[in-house]
A and B are shown apart, each in its own frame.
Chain A
Amino acid sequence: MSSILSALSSRATAPALVAMGFLLSFAIPEYGLLDLYVQLVLIYVCINIILSLSLNLVNGYMGEFSVGHAGFMAAGAYMSATLTAKIFPPDQVALLFPVAIIAGGIAAAILGLVVAIPSFKTRGDYLAIVTLAFNMIIKAVFDNIDYVGGARGFIGIDRLTTLPMTFFWTVMSIWVMRNFIYSKYGRGMLAIREEEIAGEMMTVDTRRVKVLAFVISSFFAGIAGALLAHMLQFINPRMFDIIKSTDILIMVYLGGTGSIIGSILGATIYTVLLEVLRPLEMWRMVLMPLLLVVLMIYRPQGIMGMRELKLFIPGYDRVFMRRKPDEKEKPDAA
């Protein structure tokens, strides 16, 4: 196990894995290596990884408790769908789809900025209520905009989300958020989580860090929403209610807070399990929460909880391997 882990930490590993993933993401649909249903599940897994990692930024790394993540998704989904289905010229939609995705992200990021403001004043339970309210407002707003279908939903969205594109955005979001986490801003988030006052005393601009974390987190939620809308070809406000937000929370806490690999595992396991358990029909929704209860009892920190794969820690050896070889303490990472 440790030899596998040390092999994974070598510098060339990450680019090699990404390149391999890219090749596969092109080859799978091209040569029909997996059946269409499995391909859909793969796209779902990728979207959920983006969602859980982006929520982990705020809930895990920064220690706030945001429960309205689906609201940002909705913004991204509706923004991008409006662009592709109503505004862009129909013959150029496929070409302009990346623009629509980014526009979805930006729309969500702007909302994130708005939500970040009450988060300066409130923490913990109060922030949870603020974000919950925000989620409900977003749903109510889309319920009442006839231009995008209101409560009946938005139909006529093209199927534009492809496996390579989803994979690209998943890699992008992991890379950008990892970079953010391992910068002064990321350390600022940790300071806010661990001891906010001490963070301020140590020059951390907590206001700025919170805004940045919220904006980046909601930007990627918007991206995920845009990808989802163009995979399902249909969206309605109910898809982005508090239940969806809860789903994302579950993935974060299942995988473990404050860990990139945790979010990847949490999203993958949750998505795949839900699919595997499909034959159980209604019992699926009994078994799944039960599994979670068991997990929380026996492993409350989640699968990875605060542990990280060396692969995701830039300069791991430089930071943690400086000690003389006779030292026995284990570094705080897997």
Chain B
Amino acid sequence: MLLETKEVTQRFGGICAVSGLNLKIETGELVGVIGPNGAGKTTVFNIITGIYNPTAGSIYFDGSDITGMKPNKIAAKGIARTFQNIKLFKGLSAIDNIRIAHYASAKYSTLEAVLHVGRFMAEERRILDSSFELLKFFGLEKYASTRARDLPYGLQRRLEIARALALKSKLLLLDEPAAGMNPREIDDLIEFIRNIRESFGLTILLIEHQMRLVMTICERIVVLDFGATIAEGTPEEIKSNDRVIEAYLGKKKPREVSDNA
């Protein structure tokens, strides 16, 4: 078990955004989270990554309890994410976007940093080399010194994933990676996600509205509505699940029910 949430509940004032969520993800799995708008999907990501401290319940990652840990510590443990509305460091070059993600892995002290001595030089060289390697893998090498904001939208998405992988994470959380993409780009994205999963040995949890993408690549799907799990299973099972159809399309009118009876 790589990630497990036990009875996680998140309240904002009177609103219960997530209630009693039990999520289990095995190492190597590719799991999709779907649900109508406002179902609490992104909130789940924010809880896992430590942005929110859950009102109740606990979260285990890789065998240890990470409930209430600071976001940067959780990230250093190996959970990386992307955002629904890309959150790159827009004014910085692509290479610096990646280098920032090496904060925790850079092993030098403040004094070494301020004087540029000791382990500093070797560490910075390592960070620079591995950042370039990553850019190369993602075909972004020639944009190394281009500011993130000047990259086309598709490449921004790619850079954000590259940045997340710079953490050498075990678990990757993708928040609507296909948002704003056309069908052709979605095909590429499907290929791309499969590719990085293989190359980096990742476990992936993704939120997506794009059904084609979810149904094609996810092995297991979790459906949320009003902060609670309403269904869980393979894409085939989910497609024919009544509660899922109800959550997305609404209930049949009672009159029709009585007509049928």
A194 at the interface (CB under 8 A from B): yes
Pairwise interchain contact B92-A194, C-beta atoms closer than 8 A? yes
A183 to B114 Cα, complex, angstroms: 8
Question: Given the interface contacts A187-B96, A206-B72, A319-B128, does A201 sit within 8 Å of B81 by beta carbon?
Answer: yes
- One digit per residue, 1 when the CB lies within 8 angstroms of any chain B CB and 0 when it does not, for chain A 173-210 equals 00010011011110110110111011111111110000
Q: A202 touches which one: B75, B144, B146 (CB < 8 A)?
A: B75
Pairwise interchain contact B88-A201, C-beta atoms closer than 8 A? no
- The smallest C-beta distance from A245 to any residue of chain B, in angstroms, reads 25
A106 at the interface (CB under 8 A from B): no
Pairwise interchain contact A323-B144, C-beta atoms closer than 8 A? yes
State which of A65-73, A153-161, A324-332 sits at the interface with chain B: A324-332
Pairwise interchain contact A195-B87, C-beta atoms closer than 8 A? yes
Pairwise interchain contact A324-B89, C-beta atoms closer than 8 A? no
A179 to B75 Cα, complex, angstroms: 26
Q: A203 touches which one: B75, B89, B115, B143 (CB < 8 A)?
A: B75
A212 at the interface (CB under 8 A from B): yes
Pairwise interchain contact A212-B110, C-beta atoms closer than 8 A? yes
A10 to B72 Cα, complex, angstroms: 38
A-B contact count (CB 8 A): 122
Closest-by-CB residue of A relative to B166 is: A202
Q: B96 touches which one: A190, A315, A318 (CB < 8 A)?
A: A190
Pairwise interchain contact A201-B92, C-beta atoms closer than 8 A? no
Pairwise interchain contact B114-A179, C-beta atoms closer than 8 A? yes
Within 8 A of A (CB), among B123-145: 124, 127-128, 132, 141-145
Q: B142 touches which one: A197, A314, A323 (CB < 8 A)?
A: A323
Question: Given the interface contacts A179-B114, A195-B88, A198-B83, does A204 sit within 8 Å of B100 by beta carbon?
Answer: yes
B-chain residues with CB within 8 Å of residue A26 when the two chains form the complex: none
A314 to B93 Cα, complex, angstroms: 16
- The smallest C-beta distance from B166 to any residue of chain A, in angstroms, reads 8
A223 at the interface (CB under 8 A from B): no
B-chain residues with CB within 8 Å of residue A318 when the two chains form the complex: 128
- The smallest C-beta distance from B206 to any residue of chain A, in angstroms, reads 16
A-chain residues with CB within 8 Å of residue B100 when the two chains form the complex: 187-188, 190-191, 199, 202, 204
B-chain residues with CB within 8 Å of residue A206 when the two chains form the complex: 72
Pairwise interchain contact A204-B72, C-beta atoms closer than 8 A? yes
B-chain residues with CB within 8 Å of residue A332 when the two chains form the complex: 93, 145, 147
Pairwise interchain contact B96-A204, C-beta atoms closer than 8 A? no
A254 at the interface (CB under 8 A from B): no
- One digit per residue, 1 when the CB lies within 8 angstroms of any chain A CB and 0 when it does not, for chain B 75-93 equals 1100011010001111111
Pairwise interchain contact A323-B141, C-beta atoms closer than 8 A? yes
A121 at the interface (CB under 8 A from B): no
B-chain residues with CB within 8 Å of residue A202 when the two chains form the complex: 75, 100-101, 103, 163, 166-167
- One digit per residue, 1 when the CB lies within 8 angstroms of any chain B CB and 0 when it does not, for chain A 18-36 equals 0000000000000000000
A306 to B96 Cα, complex, angstroms: 14
Pairwise interchain contact B75-A200, C-beta atoms closer than 8 A? yes
Q: A204 touches which one: B50, B103, B120 (CB < 8 A)?
A: B103
- The smallest C-beta distance from A9 to any residue of chain B, in angstroms, reads 15
Pairwise interchain contact A323-B145, C-beta atoms closer than 8 A? yes
A322 to B110 Cα, complex, angstroms: 28
Pairwise interchain contact A194-B51, C-beta atoms closer than 8 A? no
Q: B91 touches which one: A176, A180, A194, A201 (CB < 8 A)?
A: A194
Pairwise interchain contact B89-A195, C-beta atoms closer than 8 A? yes
A179 to B147 Cα, complex, angstroms: 22
Q: What would 24 A/B residue contacts be, using CB atoms closer than 8 Å?
A: A179-B116, A180-B114, A182-B116, A183-B108, A184-B108, A191-B100, A191-B103, A197-B51, A197-B71, A199-B100, A200-B51, A201-B75, A202-B166, A202-B167, A203-B76, A203-B101, A203-B105, A204-B72, A204-B100, A314-B116, A315-B128, A319-B95, A322-B132, A323-B142
Chain A contact residues, CB within 8 Å of chain B: 176, 179-180, 182-185, 187-188, 190-191, 193-195, 197-206, 212, 216, 306, 314-315, 318-320, 322-324, 327, 329, 331-332
